[in-house]
Structure formats: C-alpha cells, structure tokens
Amino acid sequence: MAGLKENNPDVIRPKTQVAGGGMKLGYGQNRRALSEINKNIVCAPTSYPYGLQGKKPIPAKKPLVPVRRPVTRAFSTQVTTNKPSLPLPEGKKPKIEKIPDQIENEDLIDVEDDFNAPMFVQHTESMLDEIDKMDEDIYEEPVLDIDEADKDDPLAVVEYIDELYAHYKEQEILSCVSPTYLSQQHDITDRMRAILIDWLIEVHYKFELMEETLYLTVNLVDRFLARRSVTRKNLQLVGITSMLLACKYEEVSVPIVDDFVVISDKAYTRQEVLDMEKEMMNTLEFNLSLPTSLVFMKRFLKAARSYKEMELLAFYLIDLCLVEYEMVKFPPSLLAAAAVFTAESTLKRSTQWTKTSEHYSQYSQNHLLECAKLMVGLHQKAGTGRLVAVFKKYSTSKYGHVARTQPANFMLELRFWD
C-alpha cells in the first residue's frame, strides 16, 4: 500500500466496504463510465495505468494527439457505433486502428442526407440555413398596401378597388385603336392630327376644363377616325364635337354649342356641329365609358407614393404623348405607368420602379423601357417647333413650371434586363 502511494501520490482510488469494517481498493469499477465519456475522442485505447495490487505497475500508453479529419461515412459510423472498451488481459497491447492519410472526396458525408452525421454538424447547418433565410427576408423589397390608410374613407371604395381596376384593365383594349389607322385616311396625315390635338389642348386650357375631359376628347377623336374616313376640311369639326361630347360626359358646367362655334372662328355652323355629334355617337355605338390614361395614372401615382412635383411632371409627359401619333400604339395603362416611372426617375436622377409599383401596375421596368425612352425624347424636344401648347401650359405657375425640368437623358442609355 505504501509503495503504491509513493508511486502515485495524486491518485485517489475508490474504496469498497467489506465484511469486518475494513476497506479495500476497487479496481475497474468506474471504467465503464469513463469509457462512455471518452468514446468520441479520437485516440487509441489505453491500457490500465496500474496493474493489480502487488504487481509491477503497467505504464499507460500515451494518448494520440487529437486529429482533425473530415467527417466521412466510415468515421461517422465508427463514432456513433463505438462501444466502451473492456479491460485487456495483462501483457496484451491494444490494437490501434490506423487513420487513413487521404480521404476521397466522394467519401465525405452529405450532412443533409446522412442521418448519422454528428449532432454539432447538423446544428451548424441548420443555423446557416436560418441565417440565409433571414438575409433573404431582409433584402427582399416588400409590397406595400397602398389602401391601408383609406379604409375609413367611403369614397376610396377600398372593399372592391382591386376588382375595379381589374375591370378597367380588361376594358382598356376597347379604347385602343390600330397604330396604323391613319393609313386608311386618304386626306389626313399624322401631322394634321398632331396640329388638331395641340389646338384642342389649348382650347381645353382656355375653357378651364377637367383633365378627364381632355383625355376622353383625344380618345374619341382617334376612335372615330379609325372607323370613318374624314376630309381635311372636317377634321377640326371632329375635334370640337369630340370635346363637346366629352364635356357632356365629364363636366358639371358644360360649354354650349355656340362656344365651340366661336372658338373655331365660325368655320362651322351650329347645325353642322349637331349633325357631327349624331354621326359620332352612332359610329361609337354610344360607348363613352372607357378607361383612359388618367384613370390608371391616379392609381399608379398612389402606388409610387408621389408628391406634387412628381404628379405634375407625370401629367406633363403624358400630355406630350397625346400629341404624338406614334404613342397611339401603347395602351392607356402602359402610358400611365411609363409616365410615372419616367417622372420619378427624372426627379431622382436614377431609375425608380419599386415592387409596389410593379405589383399595382402589373408592368415591370422592362415593359416600360421602350415607352419611357420615347417620353424622354419628347421631353427633350418640347418647346421647339410650332406645337408648343403643352409646353406653354406646364410652364405656368399653376403647373409648377415643370416644363423647365431637365429631361432624364441617362434613361436613353438603359438596356433591357435579362
């Protein structure tokens, strides 16, 4: 006993009560618990540090240095199925399994597919997946509910506003005309149409009519000219009659027929205006309830969270489009969305088309790019030439002098996204 203590002064052996009140040392009773704790350590099995009492102590094998090795299927199975080692007979050396120096890539464990992967590996992978999902949520632009603030306003009709604009979207195809309809006219050119619309914009401004009246007037002119052949002499008559019909549909205080006769410098009589009114209504089948660009403009401006200057600039751009025959090919909703997109980009000097605007307009930036570039070109040419009614209108203080805004020339260099 004394010899054993001198050889191993720091070892405290477990003791067992025996008959007669004495104590005897126990060897090996706690070996199973230790092997359970150490079974996942990468090292060779060691022999007991001491032999039985009275025998020469057997020196313990020095444990191997822990090795960092890839988690392979073979190693994972070895770790999870390893059982506690039993005491070896005296004098027999433990068998040390050699760790392979090289491991093939195909031998690595696919942690997602292998259920025997160590728990810390699975836990780490799950944490990384959660972090990736959080990053996606952080950088994904949300779609805002633009009607949330108007739920208590009965005029906003929040309950069925989405269905209402879905109906407008379906009906707008009826308000569109062929982009080549003037080829059927033998006495009218696109230049003559532009002169007529420019003059109607000036008349509309002098009469101080509603914006809805102007857009409906231009729509009636195009729809009628697409169905009836008109002489050059009667083209202005078609214009003033279209505005008369639009006023009756939109305005509260309607200008009388004589007002349009006077504004046309008495080029037509009152009876000629009334006869043209009948012809137009029969040709258009009394259908005046069609969505124009203004209907969609209000919705898209709300989605873009617009402000006064942006609204005025968007209307300026779309009024420029009314004069140009080449813009007839675009449906009203696309013209409205492109005007909002171009106005916002012009003021912020960078392309601005959010997920919210894309959601409510149903147009991506790719869809708007062609029309937006044409609008920038019209903005560059505004104020030059003879057709300057729109430029003069939006150069006044009433419209915030937005006609003086510098065009977004950088948009002409934009390319379509892949």
Q: Give domain status of residue 108, yes or no.
A: no
Alpha-helical (H) ranges within 1-154 are: 2-7, 31-38, 73-81, 119-139
Greatest CA separation found in the chain? 140
Helix (H, G, I), strand (E, B), or coil: what is residue 68? coil
Q: Give domain status of residue 92, yes or no.
A: no
pLDDT digits 0-9 by tens, 120-139 = 445 555 666 665 565 555 55
Q: Give domain status of residue 232, yes or no.
A: yes
Domain boundary among 259, 283, 307: 283
pLDDT digits 0-9 by tens, 222-270 = 999 999 999 999 999 999 999 999 999 999 998 999 999 999 999 999 9
- Specify the CATH number for the domain of residue 194: 1.10.472.10
Q: Which pLDDT score is estimated for 46?
A: 46
| Beta pairing, strands 23-25 & 15-17 | antiparallel
Domain limits at 211? 179-283
Q: Which residue has the higher pLDDT, 89 or 63?
A: 89
Local confidence band at 45 (pLDDT 50, 70, 90 cut-offs)? very low
Q: Which pLDDT score is estimated for 270?
A: 96
Q: Give domain status of residue 147, yes or no.
A: no
Cα 342 → chain centroid: 18
pTM: 0.67
Domain boundary among 256, 283, 310: 283
Q: Which residue has the higher pLDDT, 416 or 226?
A: 226
Distance separating the N- and C-terminal Cα atoms of the chain:
86
The reply to whether 307 and 407 lie within a common domain is yes
Mean pLDDT estimate for the chain: 79
Q: How many domains does the chain have?
A: 3
Residue in the block written with tokens 């002499």:
233
Report d(CA 278, CA 254) in Å as an integer. 18
Q: Give domain status of residue 118, yes or no.
A: no
Cα 87 → chain centroid: 67
Q: Give domain status of residue 111, yes or no.
A: no
Q: Which pLDDT score is estimated for 104?
A: 47
The reply to whether 310 and 362 lie within a common domain is yes
Phi, psi of 16 (to 5 degrees): -125, 135
Local confidence band at 87 (pLDDT 50, 70, 90 cut-offs)? low
Mean pLDDT of 191-209: 96
Taking Cα atoms as reference points, which of 337, 334, 322 lies closest to residue 393? 322
Domain boundary among 253, 283, 313: 283
Residue 111 in this model has a pLDDT that exceeds 50: no
